[in-house]
Amino acid sequence: MMMSKNAKCQPYTRECKSHAYCDMMQVYWLKLAYISVDSLDGPVQLYGYLAARDVLNPRRNYLLNRSRDNPLVVVGDDDWLIQMSGPKRGIEMTAPVLIEFYMRIKTGESEEDDLQLIDGAVIFCDMDPPINMAFTERLVGEGGAVDINLAHLYESVEATIQVHISEACHGGLSLCLTASGSGLLEKARLFDGIVTEAPCDLDKCVFAVMRRTKLIVVLKIGRSDGSDHVHRFHVFNIQKHGDSIVSFRLSFAAIQVKVTWSTLDVPNSALGEDNHYKWDPEDTTKIDYEYDWDDY
């Protein structure tokens, strides 16, 4: 959201010619593909992380980050979908993107007894096809595999989606929030759960949208007891900067959806010194992995 409000646009903010769209990576979903053991009964308790590192900021941009004390429960009824909590900002793909992962399945009393699911890193190159098309890759480990569905989107913008619930019926709401771009069939599930109190704000969700397309946000809302389900579709025109806001009221809830637009051409001067650095081939203190680049 760093470039959402900018006073240096030419000729003006709505028709900005000063700031550029850029290639971005969008991860739509993660799924548990399989587990190497058949002895697990009931839901899978998954913990660990999956994060992206891009040229804009070498720090981890977490798509999933769960501790062993707070594992994510993955059930087969939902096709083993892994609910992501990120990314926290758009993933720039003007250069290769590193996807780093470490996931375990909680099975015992201590971490030593748990099943190592996947552990490692892969690189997605900005020069590899397909472009503007979602595809699925399998991350295989010693204890199973995780499928990741993603796309390399040409000339895109960062959309930060915020949902504010100002009123809710007694007993709370069930809410499922999804986002998609009009140019692709895939969608990302941003939230799926029960809202017990109002007023409240859901966690911010970041989504990449291609230029000359539209952002489609869908809310499936109902009472927590399963009654009065309503679908709300909202279509937002792409902008480089600024906000788009829609509000609506139902008989059992009042909700506002706010989308904040930002380009990713962030100047280095806007980033903290610990968020970017000039790479020194003699300095390996900030390099987490060593690769034979001839393999890629």
- Among the four given CATH numbers 3.90.198, 2.60.40, 3.30.870, 1.10.1060, the one describing domain 25-154: 2.60.40
289 pLDDT above the threshold of 50: no
Q: Across all residues in the chain, what is the average pLDDT?
A: 86
Q: Give 73-107 pLDDT, tens digit per residue.
A: 988 777 899 999 989 999 999 899 999 999 999 98
pLDDT given for residue 270 in this prediction: 66
Asked whether the beta carbons of 204 and 152 are under 8 A apart, the reply is no
pLDDT given for residue 294 in this prediction: 43
288 pLDDT above the threshold of 50: no
- The contacts of residue 269 (CB under 8 Å, 6+ apart) are none
- Helix/strand/coil percent split, the chain, to 5: 5, 50, 45
pLDDT given for residue 7 in this prediction: 67
274 pLDDT above the threshold of 70: no
Secondary structure (3-state) at 31 = strand
pLDDT given for residue 107 in this prediction: 86
* Gyration radius (Cα) of the chain, Å: 20
CATH of domain 157-267: 2.60.40.150
pLDDT given for residue 282 in this prediction: 54
pLDDT given for residue 69 in this prediction: 93
Q: Give 134-176 pLDDT, tens digit per residue.
A: 999 999 998 999 999 999 999 999 999 999 999 888 888 999 9
pTM of the model: 0.85
Distances from the Cα of 251 to the Cα of 169, 176, 217, 219, 232, angstroms: 9, 18, 21, 15, 14
pLDDT given for residue 139 in this prediction: 95
pLDDT given for residue 127 in this prediction: 75
Higher pLDDT, 226 or 28: 28
What average pLDDT does range 248-257 have in this prediction?
A: 92
Task: Render 245-282 in DSSP notation, one character per residue.
Answer: EEEEE-SSEEEEEEEEEE-S---GGGS-GGG-----TT
pLDDT given for residue 271 in this prediction: 67
Nearest-5° Cα angle at 68, 121 to 31: 50
pLDDT given for residue 275 in this prediction: 57
Percent of the chain whose pLDDT exceeds 70:
89
The CA distance from 204 to 184, in Å, is 22
Confidence of residue 65 (pLDDT cuts 50, 70, 90): very high
Confidence of residue 292 (pLDDT cuts 50, 70, 90): very low
pLDDT given for residue 71 in this prediction: 93
pLDDT given for residue 62 in this prediction: 96
118 pLDDT above the threshold of 70: yes
> Domain ranges in the chain?
25-154, 157-267
